Amino acid sequence: MSNNYSSQVQDGKNAKSIKCKYCTSVMLKPAAANFEEGEHELPTITQNVKSASTITETVTAFWKVDDMFTFDNIGFSNTVGTTKYLACADCDAGPVGYHDLNTKISYVALCRIEYV
Ligand SMILES: [Zn+2]
């Protein structure tokens, strides 16, 4: 595990609540998600997902959520193939991560959220 994440990870799970970078919407309670490293391309984040960026960047660390019902608040933006992009339920900022329609597992990008 990379050292720069260590203060946010406790027993492999999120130590603090996870919230939107742009508003106060809380997405996940403490210990609701598992830390996972792995590369995935995500469109760059925007505060208006209706005009989703076509520019992508590689994200390397995620909060893995096995069950959609674990989220306190989460929204969806567009779907590309078997990938459904996750957005803030309140202000539509996104994508903050993605949902795999095959595995039903969601991944929230560490670099796109904040902690409460
Ligand atoms: Zn928000």
Does 50 score more than 70 pLDDT?
no
Structure confidence at residue 1 as a pLDDT band (50, 70, 90): very low
φ, ψ at 70 (rounded to 5°): -70, -30
Choice between 46 and 35, residue whose per-residue pLDDT is larger = 35
pLDDT digits (tens, 9 = 90+) for 14-42: 999 999 999 999 999 999 999 999 999 99
> What's the gap in Å between 46 CA and the centre of ligand 1?
11
Does 57 score more than 60 pLDDT?
yes
Sign of CA dihedral 79, 53, 72, 89: negative
Beta-bridged to residue 65, according to DSSP, are: 106
Quick one: tokens of 13? 């799970």
pTM across the whole model: 0.92
CATH assignment of 3-115, among 3.30.420.40, 3.90.950.20, 3.90.1150.10, 2.170.150.10: 2.170.150.10
> What's the gap in Å between 27 CA and the centre of ligand 1?
9
Distance CA 83, CA 67 (A): 15
Give the pairing of strands 113-115 and 18-20.
antiparallel
> What's the gap in Å between 116 CA and the centre of ligand 1?
13
pLDDT digits (tens, 9 = 90+) for 59-114: 999 999 999 999 999 999 889 999 999 999 999 999 999 999 999 999 999 999 99
Where are the domains positioned within the chain? 3-115
- In the structure, ligand 1 is a single-atom ion and the residues with CB under 5 Å from it are 20, 22-23, 25, 88, 90-91, 93
> What's the gap in Å between 69 CA and the centre of ligand 1?
18
> What's the gap in Å between 91 CA and the centre of ligand 1?
4
85 conformational bin, left if phi > 0, alpha if psi -120 to 50, beta if neither: beta
**Upstream peptide bond of 43 is cis (omega within 30 degrees of 0):** no
Choice between 66 and 46, residue whose per-residue pLDDT is larger = 66
Instruction: Give the sheet arrangement for strand 83-87, strand by strand.
Output: 9-10, 13-14, 34-43, 56-65, 106-109, 97-100, 83-87, 75-80
